Amino acid sequence: MTDLLTRLGGLAYGGDYNPEQWPPEVQAEDMALMREAGVNLVTLGIFSWAMVEPEPGRYDWAWFDRVLDLLAENGIAVCLATMTASPPPWLARAHPETLPVRADGTVLGPGARQHFTPSSPVYRRYATRLVERLAIRYGAHPALAAWHVGNEYGCHVAESYGEVDAVAFRAWLRDRYGDLGALNAAWSTAFWSQRYGAWEEIEPPRAAPTFGNPAQRLDFRRFSSDALLACYRAERGVLRRVTPDVPVTTNFFPLGNPALDLHAWAAEEDVVSYDSYPDPADPEAHVAAAYAYDLMRSLKGGAPWLLLEQAPSAVNWRVVNRPKAPGRMRLGSWQAVARGADAVLFFQWRASRGGAEKFHSAMVPHAGPQSRTFAEVRELGRELAGSAELAGTRVLADAALVLDWPSWWALEQPSHPSGRLRQMGTNLAHYAPLWRAGVTCDVVRPGSDLSRYRLVVVPNLYLVSAADAENLTSYVRDGGHLVVSFFSGVVDEQDRIHAGGAPGPLAEVLGLHVTEFWPLAKGEHVDLAEPGTGWLGEGAARGTLWSEAPRLEGALALATFASGGPSGHAAITRHPYGEGVAYYLATRPDPATMRTFLDQVCAAASVHPAVSGLPDDAEAVIREATDGTRYVITLDHATADVRIDRA
């Protein structure tokens, strides 16, 4: 990563380059326009497999050699794709068992992309063979700066339920449990006569008459993330062997679909890459984008990450695809840089003339360089080139939110007290007030070292292991401020209810037990009252989405339910524990009340905004260089203003 940035001499700027979609003579204009736009990095070859290997084992490298040479001659570095995200049609024809299968048995065929199951040894064999050829051929090419493995693993096909997958799932389970007795216990198979007597009886959780076994489904999600990761690792293994000094990454697709356990994935990358597509029609999209960027930075302990894709303007895959208004692409790009990105790349360089993405915007639109989009692209390239000193600097954050994939997977299973509880909505309900208050947050796993944070917020941790609960508990014992929201600490790693019920192993630090859940219907709310504590602020305070009845065992009520099922019970509590304090929310306060509450928690924890006094729709983030130089990046989403100050 450092080598990549040293080589570029600053922030990376560019996009996906798919020259095979155009006649070769366009490439000369591409080079001239790239130079004009300040492009210094392109990701190349993402969907080129069928063009470089038109028949099994027959390669056509000549055209690809020319493109790489041309880029090198023009001083443009290449993040070279391994080309394995879309196998050529010949692979499906020769080996239909490489195709993915849905839970209902539908086989997904070629003609789009990502039509492979990661568990297919045949797919892996062909993929790694190609990767080896690529690495040998281009490993010493002057344009090569990094490897881009696959493309958005799992974005279209996160799970596959075929025979090949069943075999791999069983092997994964044997590895995890060792013997069937342990598996039967972990999956609670005494329920509904599900006990397994032989490994061969176990199948992926295919379409079934009613609710499937939740522990089986949870393990299948773990397995599916691991199966994709195994594909990535197989390719990376080849790359490491042939080109040990070239950094390796793969681009994560937009948060929302939790297919991959990004904590496990990021550990296998040299640098984290993310694709970001905030909806220009959504007035809150920049808040969710900020959350995603904070997570990307945190996945590798605060190291700079690469924004590997974003749209210069409109996408093609929403129902209505709005362009980005003037200035918004610049603002969104700077938002990523403010939150730790060292690269701003787009999908894609030149707009496609044919294919499913011909209406997706590009740096060079169909209308050519005489366009608003290209003018903005050129201007941004100039700005980023002038901000080279930001590369490698790190974001300062005193607060963190907790996120855990297995818990997310388990939370969103069916047959729960409420189907309205969604992990990302919950995360953002806690993140948005902190964002509005100007507080920079990392997003970390529950078992990570929390000692550097003054405040840790757990929006929801339905599934918690004893070790993670102990980590959160000792964080408070040692002086930390912890906020935990409802329906946390409910189950263990196998989705079995913790003894004594929620919040399970978090009961000690929170000083309470939950005796009843009272989830709320859409539009329903409960009134909150406070016994003169001042924690709710002015005006009516309401709880939404959920309510529950805690039994206090040391915690004190900061607010109580004044209506609804748990009327009279504590709704918000505070529990001094060891050197620190733990707060609990037994409901989702309305946004204003949530903000009032979190403002007070921040004040108590001495957590301050990076810059105080900013309007609510502005954000400021500080990046710090190793020599202590600080840069304050201030972005106003109301006016689309961007400022970068040395502080």
User: How distant is the alpha carbon of residue 78 from its chain centre?
Assistant: 24
What is the H or E stretch that residue 482 is in? Answer: strand 481-485
Q: How far is the CB of 327 from ligand GAL (least distance, A)?
A: 21
Of 74-82, 147-155, 258-266, 365-373, which part binds ligand GAL (CB under 6 A)? 147-155
Rounded distance between C-alpha atoms, residue 556 and residue 28, angstroms: 70
Question: With respect to ligand GAL, which residue has the nearer C-beta, 151 or 465?
Answer: 151
Rounded distance between C-alpha atoms, residue 224 and residue 158, angstroms: 7
Tokens of 260: 């991959």
Instruction: Give 544-590 as a DSSP string.
Output: ES--EEEEESS-EEEEEE-SSTTTTSEEEEEEEETTEEEEEESSEE-
Rounded distance between C-alpha atoms, residue 289 and residue 295, angstroms: 10
Question: With respect to ligand GAL, which residue has the nearer C-beta, 260 or 572?
Answer: 260
Q: How far is the CB of 256 from ligand GAL (least distance, A)?
A: 12
User: Which of 53, 159, 235, 309 is an active site residue?
Assistant: 309
Residue 324 makes contact with ligand GAL by CB under 6 A? no
Q: How far is the CB of 181 from ligand GAL (least distance, A)?
A: 43
273-302 positions binding ligand GAL, by CB under 6 A: 275, 277
Rounded distance between C-alpha atoms, residue 78 and residue 81, angstroms: 9
Beta strands 273-276; 305-310: pairing state: parallel
Rounded to 5 degrees, φ, ψ at 274 are -140, 145
Q: How far is the CB of 163 from ligand GAL (least distance, A)?
A: 29
Residue among 114, 151, 249, 471 that touches ligand GAL (CB under 6 A): 151
Give the x-and-dash track for 498-537 against ligand GAL (CB under 6 A).
----------------------------------------
Q: Is 230 exposed, middle or buried (0-12, 13-18, 19+ CB in 10 A)?
A: middle
Question: With respect to ligand GAL, which residue has the nearer C-beta, 108 or 410?
Answer: 108
Residue among 324, 350, 360, 623 that touches ligand GAL (CB under 6 A): 360
User: How distant is the alpha carbon of residue 382 from its chain centre?
Assistant: 29
Contacts for 147 with CB less than 8 Å, ≥ 6 apart:
79, 80, 81, 82, 135, 236, 239, 243, 246, 247, 248, 249
154-173 positions binding ligand GAL, by CB under 6 A: 155
- Is 624 an active-site residue? no
Residue among 347, 409, 535, 584 that touches ligand GAL (CB under 6 A): 347
Residue with tokens 């102990």: 470
Q: How far is the CB of 234 from ligand GAL (least distance, A)?
A: 20
- Residues 581 and 511: beta-carbon distance below 8 Å: no
Question: With respect to ligand GAL, which residue has the nearer C-beta, 315 or 403?
Answer: 315
Q: How far is the CB of 50 from ligand GAL (least distance, A)?
A: 15
Residue 253 makes contact with ligand GAL by CB under 6 A? yes
Beta strands 341-346; 394-395: pairing state: unpaired
Q: How far is the CB of 308 from ligand GAL (least distance, A)?
A: 8
Of 20-28, 307-315, 474-482, 571-579, which part binds ligand GAL (CB under 6 A)? 307-315
Residue with tokens 């000792």: 474
From 596, 624, 635, 575, select the one nearest 434 (Cα to Cα). Answer: 596
Q: How far is the CB of 619 from ligand GAL (least distance, A)?
A: 24
Of 104-112, 151-159, 452-460, 626-634, which part binds ligand GAL (CB under 6 A)? 151-159
User: Which of 53, 152, 159, 493 is an active site residue?
Assistant: 152
Rounded distance between C-alpha atoms, residue 328 and residue 346, angstroms: 14
Residue 152 makes contact with ligand GAL by CB under 6 A? yes
From 170, 224, 158, 227, select the one nearest 198 (Cα to Cα). Answer: 170
Question: With respect to ligand GAL, which residue has the nearer C-beta, 357 or 379?
Answer: 357
- Is 530 an active-site residue? no
Residue 315 makes contact with ligand GAL by CB under 6 A? yes
For ligand GAL, the binding residues (CB under 6 A) are: 151-152, 155, 253, 275, 277, 309, 311, 315, 347, 357, 360
Query: What residues act catalytically?
Result: 152, 309
